[in-house]
């Protein structure tokens, strides 16, 4: 049997000196991405709202002083966004800013649609008027597909949909991305792709309604974790997995703009796992805490099964997972445990970067 080559790490020689604009750098995934790009030598401009959690990775890891320029700005402000891009003159744009949670989207559907659809359109339109951009990768979600709950791993060619406002807003963003690619940006010489990633875990996420952050909060306080949907199945992955894939996608698009398209990123379809399975690994790694499982009917609709077919990313980008479920969950919980014990969050991130980069 032929040996499968490892995932290709981000190319330092490619990123060194590149002007990169990251939206959402004040959030969880965007914060990790901004740190990694700075580590690779890129000149990063960040655009995002003020951190919406306390504590926040942005503050604890001192991300503001890791980027070349930092802007607190709402992507729904199209004029300000155009001004920022004109000043930054990015060569690559990575768009992560979003309202990224299912339950808050039910509470504020209009705000979610405005941020995720109109905000994405504003980013693309700012790129349309900005000379020098060669690559744009815009992040959506695994939830963009019409989901009949048939345990089928979604392919990029499957119909878009979305029962809940969050999913629908991201499906709408995908349509906007494809439209701008075909109508404007392809002719402008900008390679535009969308990235659909699975459920992301990792240290430094303090958002509510996310499994491991909720678990760490409860167990640290001596309370029981209340789990609303333990049988839900998701394509879990450590945060460095999709971020490395986004960077790899940018590198490939720079050399081959014809690869501009939508891509799924996640674990292999047979490696999806239930909430119950993830919690079992997390509980063992944390070493204490109670869990109260409930199979009661949810107050709002949430998909029971999500899985992504990632063959396209393997074939065209040579992207494949590095860390399996157990290692990803253990590293996530260990990040929080070490932070609770007094470790510096920036050093914890750097340690994970080094471990990931040394896999080859």
Specify the pLDDT at position 145: 97
Below-70 pLDDT ranges, the chain? 1-7, 295-299, 359-360
CA distances from 82 to 47, 48, 70, 85, 127 (A): 12, 14, 15, 5, 8
Q: Is residue 152 part of a domain?
A: yes
Comparing CA positions, the residue from 162, 168, 59, 187 lying closest to residue 114 is 168
Specify the pLDDT at position 271: 87
Which CATH number is 89's domain given?
3.40.50.720
Q: Is residue 33 part of a domain?
A: yes
Give the separation between CA 145 and CA 162, rounded to whole angstroms. Answer: 6
Nearby residues of 94 by Cβ (< 8 Å), 6 or more positions away? 20, 21, 22, 23, 33, 136, 137, 139, 246, 250
Give the separation between CA 179 and CA 236, rounded to whole angstroms. Answer: 30
Report the DSSP beta bridge partners of residue 43: 19
Is there a contact between 178 and 140 (Cβ–Cβ < 8 Å)?
Answer: no
Q: Is residue 133 part of a domain?
A: yes
The number of distinct structural domains making up the chain is 1
Give the separation between CA 76 and CA 120, rounded to whole angstroms. Answer: 8
Count of Cβ atoms closer than 10 Å to residue 135 Cβ: 25
Specify the pLDDT at position 5: 42
Specify the pLDDT at position 227: 92
Q: What is the pLDDT of residues 60-94, one digit of tens each?
A: 999 999 999 999 999 999 999 999 999 999 999 99
Domain that holds residue 160: 15-357
Specify the pLDDT at position 184: 98
pTM of the model: 0.96
Specify the pLDDT at position 296: 59
Q: What is the pLDDT of residues 1-31, one digit of tens each?
A: 233 344 578 999 999 999 999 999 999 999 9
Specify the pLDDT at position 298: 56
Q: Is residue 25 part of a domain?
A: yes
* Phi, psi dihedrals of residue 183, rounded to the nearest 5°: -80, -35
Q: Is residue 9 part of a domain?
A: no
b (16+ CB within 10 A) / e for 232-241: bbbbbbbbbb
Specify the pLDDT at position 270: 83
């Amino acid at each position: 049997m032929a040996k499968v080559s490892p995932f290709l790490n981000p190319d330092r020689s490619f990123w060194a000196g590149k002007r990169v604009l990251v939206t959402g750098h004040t959030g969880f995934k965007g914060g990790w991405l901004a740190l990694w790009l700075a580590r690779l030598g890129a000149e990063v401009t960040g655009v995002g709202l003020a951190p919406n959690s306390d504590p926040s990775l942005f503050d604890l890891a001192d991300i503001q002083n890791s980027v070349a320029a930092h802007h607190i700005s709402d992507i729904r402000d199209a004029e300000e966004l155009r001004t920022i891009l004109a000043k930054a003159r990015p060569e690559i744009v990575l768009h992560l800013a979003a309202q990224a949670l299912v339950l808050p989207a039910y509470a504020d559907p209009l705000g979610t649609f405005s941020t995720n659809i109109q905000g994405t359109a504003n980013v693309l339109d700012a790129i349309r008027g900005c000379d020098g951009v060669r690559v744009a990768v815009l992040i959506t979600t695994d939830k963009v597909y019409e989901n009949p709950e048939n345990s089928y791993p979604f392919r990029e060619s499957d119909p878009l949909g979305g029962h809940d406002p969050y999913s629908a807003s991201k499906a709408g963003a995908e349509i906007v991305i494809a439209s701008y690619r075909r109508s404007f940006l392809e002719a402008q010489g900008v390679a535009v792709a969308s990235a659909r990633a699975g459920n992301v875990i990792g240290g430094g996420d303090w958002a509510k309604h996310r499994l491991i952050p909720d678990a760490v909060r409860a167990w640290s306080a001596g309370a029981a974790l209340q789990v609303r949907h333990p049988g839900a199945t998701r394509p879990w992955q450590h945060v460095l997995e999709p971020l490395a894939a986004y960077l790899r996608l940018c590198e490939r698009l720079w050399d081959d703009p014809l690869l501009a398209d939508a891509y799924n990123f996640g674990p292999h379809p047979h490696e999806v796992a239930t909430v119950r399975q993830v919690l079992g690994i997390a509980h063992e790694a944390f070493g204490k805490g109670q869990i109260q499982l409930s199979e009661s009917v949810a107050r709002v609709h949430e998909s029971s099964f999500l899985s992504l077919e990632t063959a396209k990313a393997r074939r065209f980008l040579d992207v494949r997972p590095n860390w399996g479920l157990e290692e990803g969950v253990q590293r996530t919980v260990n990040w929080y445990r070490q932070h609770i014990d007094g470790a510096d969050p920036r050093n914890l991130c750097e340690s994970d970067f080094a471990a990931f980069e040394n896999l080859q």
